[in-house]
Amino acid sequence: MHTTVRQDGSWPLPGGLGQAIRGTAEEIATLVRSANDTALAVPGSEWTVGEAAAHLAMANELMADLAAGRERRYGDGTPQSLAEANAASLAVFGERRAGPLATMITEQAEAFLDALSRSATDSPASTPLGLMNRSVLASYLLTHMLGHGYDLARALERPHMVDRERVGLCMPFMLSVMPRVANPAATEGLTARYRVRLRGGEAFGVSLADGAVQVTPGTPPQRADCTILLDPVAFLLIALGRLNPWRAIAQGQVLAWGPRPWLATRFPTLFTAP
């Protein structure tokens, strides 16, 4: 997506992305403040509500530092290293109270946006998942908050904040990181061309050959082996490991066709949730 530097020298974000980051942080903070007991378990996770909120608070601070141009090492991008970094950071950050964590989540999201507003260049930042320009970094922050916000909403039995518009704003990060999070055990020996379409949203291509994964945003292959049509919210939740693909298929949120439609069932296994 093309953007130009403003007259004040700052580098703008794509339309709606800054507002989505701010709004998502505020919604998560409201969720956290509503928790009567932050020791409540998060479904499908080893974390409690307090630990998930603490992780979000620290992650938002990390992203704000990256946006400001400060280098922060946090694993090497592999799932194991990120899990180890998460555990280590939670071990030394003892805050689990709802109020302070909610405030930190919103304050660090604002610090992130402020850092970007002060930047006059779109120079890449070094993140746990590789180099990213400022727009993709912002998309990364939003995606990360939505994943854990969804977890907190489930734990507290509240409506989640993942919607079609926000999923669209997550796509720059999702598409840029897909080759990096490809699962070598699943992609080895597979030659396939996928066309993936999100209902009411964008389409993209994923081609696999000799273990290599190539993603083509906006220009899916004309002769795909398998076309997959997904509900946008289902796509993001499957990609983040929050929704079982078979459940989404059973609910009609995923459709597939083409010369090799069975390849659709393999698609989620090709990647490890970032």
Same domain for 128 and 191? Answer: no
* Domain harbouring 38, CATH code: 1.20.120.450
Instruction: Tell me how far apart the alpha carbons of residues 8 and 24 are, in angstroms, rounded to a whole number.
Output: 27
What is the domain extent for residue 245? 184-270
Rounded Cα–Cα distance for residues 40 and 52 (Å): 10
Number of domains, the chain = 2
One domain, residues 192 and 138: no
Residues 161 and 192 in one domain: no
Calculate mean pLDDT across residues 2-18.
60
User: How confident is the model at residue 6, as a pLDDT?
Assistant: 44
Q: Is residue 2 part of a domain?
A: no
pLDDT, average across residues 6-35: 84
Domain boundary among 158, 176, 194: 176
- On whether the CB atoms of residues 228 and 267 are closer than 8 A, the answer is yes
133 domain-assigned? yes
At 147 the pLDDT is 98
pTM equals: 0.92
Whether residue 172 is found in the same domain as residue 188: no
Are 97 and 30 in the same domain? yes
d(CA 51, CA 79) in angstroms, rounded, equals: 18
Q: Does some domain include residue 51?
A: yes
Q: Are 201 and 115 found together in one domain?
A: no
- pLDDT tens-place string over residues 211-270: 899 999 987 778 999 999 999 999 999 999 999 999 999 999 999 999 999 999 999 999
Mean of per-residue pLDDT scores for the chain: 92
- Residue 42 — pLDDT band, cuts 50, 70, 90? very high
What is the tens place of the pLDDT at every residue in 101-133?
999 999 999 999 999 988 766 678 899 899 999
For the segment 158-180, the average pLDDT, to the nearest whole number, is 96
Same domain, 170 and 188: no
pLDDT at 79: 81
CATH for 235: 3.30.1050.10
Of 176, 203, 235, which residue sits at a domain end? 176
**What local confidence, expressed as pLDDT, does residue 120 receive?**
65
Q: Do both 154 and 65 map to the same domain? A: yes
> Of 129, 174, 148, whose CA–CA distance to 45 is shortest?
148
Domain identity same for 131 and 218? no
DSSP-derived 3-state class of residue 107: helix
Residues 163 and 226 in one domain: no
DSSP 254: E
Tell me, yes or no, whether 62 lies in a domain. yes
Confidence of residue 166 (pLDDT cuts 50, 70, 90): very high
Is residue 4 one of the residues assigned to a domain?
no
Same domain, 136 and 241: no
What separation in angstroms does the CA of 116 have from each of 6, 67, 69, 123? 12, 6, 10, 11
240 domain-assigned: yes
Q: Is residue 1 part of a domain?
A: no
Q: Is residue 168 located within the same domain as residue 266?
A: no
Three-class DSSP category at 226: strand
Tell me: pLDDT of 3 over 70: no
Asked if residue 46 is part of any domain, the answer here is yes
Task: Write down which residue in 176, 210, 240 finishes a domain.
Answer: 176
